Amino acid sequence: MAAAFVAGNVVGAAFGEGFAILHDTVKNVVGQAIVFKSNLEDLKSTLDGVAPVVREIKELSLALNRPETDTKVLIEQMDKGTKLVLKCSKIKRWSWNYCFRAYYYAGKLKELNDAIEKFCRVNLIVQNTRTGLETLTKLNLVLDVRKKYGVGSLSCAVPRPRDFIVGFDLHLKELKTTLFKKEVSLLLLAAPAGCGKTTLVGMLCWDPEIKGKFVDNIFFVNVSKNPNLKVIVQKLFSHKSDERLEFLSDEDAINQLEHLFNQIGPTPILLILDDVWPGSESLIEKFKFDIPDYKIMVTSRTAFPRFNSKYNLEPLDHEDAMSLFRHHSAYLQDESSYIPEEYIEKIVRSCGGFPIALEVIGGLFRGRPAEFWRSTVMKWSDDHSIFDSDTEVLLACLQKSLEFSTDKVIIKEYFMDLASFPEDLMIPATALIDMWTELYEPNKDDVYAIANLHELTTRNLVSRVMTRKNASEVDNYYNEDFVKQHNLLRDLAIHMSSRDSIIERKRLIVDIGGNNLLEWWMEQKQQLINARLLSISTDELFSSSWCNILAPDVEVLVLNFQTRSYTLPDFVEKMVRIKVIIVTNYGFFHAELNNFQLLKSLPNLKRIRLEKISIPSFCNTPVPLRSLKKLSLFMCNIGQAFGNSTLKVSDSLPNLMEINIDYCNDLLELPAWLHEVLHLRKLSISNCHKLSALPEGIGELVNLEVLRLRSCTELSELPESIRSLHKLSLLDMSDCLGIIKLPKHIGDLHNLKELHMIGCLRLHNQLPLSTIDLKQLKLVVCDEERAKLWEPIKEFLSDLKVMVVKEDINLNWLPNS
């Protein structure tokens, strides 16, 4: 690749230089060679005309790896042409063979002119077309990567270091030195929870020396508390191959992984096993292979005695701890908000040098007045210290950060709800918004839950990951946003939720390993459980053999599983107060969902979210969901679920107001009954790459206010019937690569206020004349090329703002990324 790039640069330079020499020669000779004046003037005119194109070719050749054959012929012709023009300048009328030479060289000049004209008329068009198609192909490849590694996919990408890190430079240097030692094949990085082990590993893997040695063969995988060896190996394979493998046994998985690593050799390989818990030492041993330059790094809270090479990560020293705390608390010493230094010292020392504690408690003090600092510090007693790095005491320290005032107590509830989702995995922001809105802000807009999500982020209680930097800031679109909670904070949330007895808890979080149900659940005489939120997580060994549970007050049910087939528990039928059901498959493959018909007995069910579910018979056996307002299908296999349906929307979905379909790669067409959902206000379809057209019936959705069609790359046009959507206020067609024009009568959308069209690469013709009738249009979000299309329209729409953004699409939302 490097050689090709250099060659491309040489070709681009040679092409530009050859043209410049010929062009200058013709300009200098045209006034001197009177014999060939007419021919040279024609040639000069041709060269003047193609000069801008030549400059563009030169620039593109420098930027792209263009093959030499594209311009080699013309380069040779220009070199010969320069010599020809110089010869013509030396021919004199009194030469003995003047007539012959004049006739001969005049013909050669005409041939040169014709050749250049033909090249620019034919070859350049073909070349530009091919370049455009190659660019589109590369874009599609990028999108295919996004499809392939959809949310929940099992990537082994190395986490990027944080923006602000202190106190790790020496650790990084020492760790790197130890890892480079020839005799070290397995290195254990040990430290208590919250000390920054994963942060240090991220710095290591992004270090230029480490990247230079291991190149693309750095594998990062989170092991966590209940590891599954076959799933871990599947993650490692997905990092190098499109193929999704199933293994007959753990032994089969390890054998195939060793074969893969042997194929990669002799290139050095680095495997990171992050967050290995006690009891999993034998698992680490399985990944030891006799391969040259193959190294394993393990991070753990426990310094396993059996491993010889260890690096113990100590908490931050006081100076670095002060720097980190000041950064996260944004504390500035000034006269108007003087904080005694002893108070700051006391706060920092109570954190014991744990980065996670400094970040969380620093977030608590961010933006607070001096009085808050003083009163809070005075309330904290000196009786407890985490100086000895005791995890339980650290939990107590972190818990102090949740001592909210009365008006902020709901943030504490939001924080504890985060533990409803499995550790180490990204949590979709929309899932949290759904549950929080119905639990705490019923009958209100999602904006309240969104505001509190931002509050949690500000306090460093969660980290927020955005797929696109420009997405949610503009239009409150959160379908591609995720949050991640540090394991220690999740432990804290569970610890705080578990202080009450089982029957009195507001939220009941149940983790089941295998078929080992909890004792209280298996008792014959169960007491009534009063929880409003019930979360049940099972692993790949669970057989869906449920015991009964009496929890009639549950309003939000969160089901997390990893099996290929999953059956909704029968006891769900009696939870008549349920408002939200979130069913998430965290396994490697899509799963069949059984017992779906139970939902018909839930009269208050308003929101359903399904992730990585195969739902081929969703509408063949329609389930009446008369209270349902929002349906979200994420990474689901829809197949023929919507085809040939006899669903009567007026009976089954009379109140449906919002539909979200994201990353459903087999969605070919929208359901025929969609136009009957007359109450629908929001329709969002993103990253459904096989969706090629919208039905004309979409114009019958007269109450539709928001229509999003993001990254539907095969969608070729918007139907003219959308002119009937008179309540539509937001239209988003970003990254719809196939769309080449806007509907002719788009001006009939008299209530349209926002239009998003970033990355519509084939939309480059002038906009329809009716666009000037979009009098309510206030904001167009687009890229630079599309912004030019709006310049003449802005003369007619005085309040229109065209926001040009450079879209920053990233893969940070992948697990561990």
Inter-CA distances, 148 with 140, 238, 239, Å: 12, 10, 11
Has residue 154 got a pLDDT over 70?
Answer: no
Has residue 74 got a pLDDT over 80?
Answer: no
Q: 602-642 pLDDT, tens per residue?
A: 999 999 999 999 876 555 556 788 899 999 999 998 876 66
Residue among 703, 650, 700, 709 at smallest CA distance from 675:
700
**Distance separating alpha carbons of residues 75 and 557, to the nearest angstrom:** 70
Inter-CA distances, 559 with 257, 502, 656, Å: 32, 18, 23
Amino acid making up residue 196? G
**Distance separating alpha carbons of residues 9 and 65, to the nearest angstrom:** 8
* Dihedral in degrees, nearest 10, Cα atoms 803, 808, 812, 814: 90
Has residue 645 got a pLDDT over 80?
Answer: no
Chain-centre distance for alpha carbon 798: 36
Inter-CA distances, 90 with 19, 84, 93, 101, 219, Å: 22, 10, 10, 11, 69
Q: What is the mean pLDDT of the chain?
A: 80
Higher pLDDT, 139 or 170: 170
Radius of gyration from C-alpha coordinates of the chain: 33
Q: 375-423 pLDDT, tens per residue?
A: 777 776 554 444 344 456 566 666 666 665 555 668 889 999 999 999 8
Classify the C-alpha dihedral 508-513-517-519 as positive or negative.
negative
Residue 4 has a pLDDT of 33
Please provide the distance, in angstroms rounded to a whole number, between the alpha carbons at the two ends of the chain. 27
Average pLDDT score over residue span 257-264? 90
Q: Which domains does the chain have, with CATH numbers?
A: 2-148 (no CATH), 169-312 (3.40.50.300), 692-811 (3.80.10.10)
Average pLDDT score over residue span 680-704? 93
68, two tokens = 């030499």
Classify the C-alpha dihedral 527-413-434-154 as positive or negative.
negative
155, two tokens = 């990537």
Average pLDDT score over residue span 120-132? 52
Higher pLDDT, 516 or 470: 516
**Distance separating alpha carbons of residues 379 and 700, to the nearest angstrom:** 61
Q: 269-296 pLDDT, tens per residue?
A: 999 999 898 888 889 999 999 999 999 9
Instruction: Kindly report the backbone phi and psi dihedral angles of residue 615, in degrees, each rounded to the nearest multiple of 5, phi listed first.
Output: -130, 65
Q: Tell me the pLDDT band of 528, cut-offs 50, 70 and 90.
A: confident
Residue 3 has a pLDDT of 32
Of the ranges 299-303, 400-404, 682-686, which one carries the lowest mean pLDDT score? 400-404
Residue 624 has a pLDDT of 84
Residue 780 has a pLDDT of 95
**Distance separating alpha carbons of residues 602 and 1, to the nearest angstrom:** 59
Helix (H, G, I), strand (E, B) or coil at 639: coil
Has residue 646 got a pLDDT over 70?
Answer: no
Residue 583 has a pLDDT of 96
Greatest CA separation found in the chain?
123
Amino acid making up residue 162? R
Q: Tell me the pLDDT band of 149, cut-offs 50, 70 and 90.
A: very low
Q: 459-511 pLDDT, tens per residue?
A: 778 887 776 655 444 567 888 889 988 877 888 888 888 888 888 999 999 99
Average pLDDT score over residue span 45-54? 70
Residue 38 has a pLDDT of 76
Average pLDDT score over residue span 344-359? 84
183, two tokens = 């005799």
The answer for residues whose C-beta is within 8 angstroms of residue 749's C-beta and 6 or more apart is 722, 723, 725, 726, 728, 731, 774
Instruction: Kindly report the backbone phi and psi dihedral angles of residue 562, in degrees, each rounded to the nearest multiple of 5, phi listed first.
Output: -135, 10
Inter-CA distances, 784 with 138, 470, 536, 662, 804, Å: 20, 15, 48, 27, 6
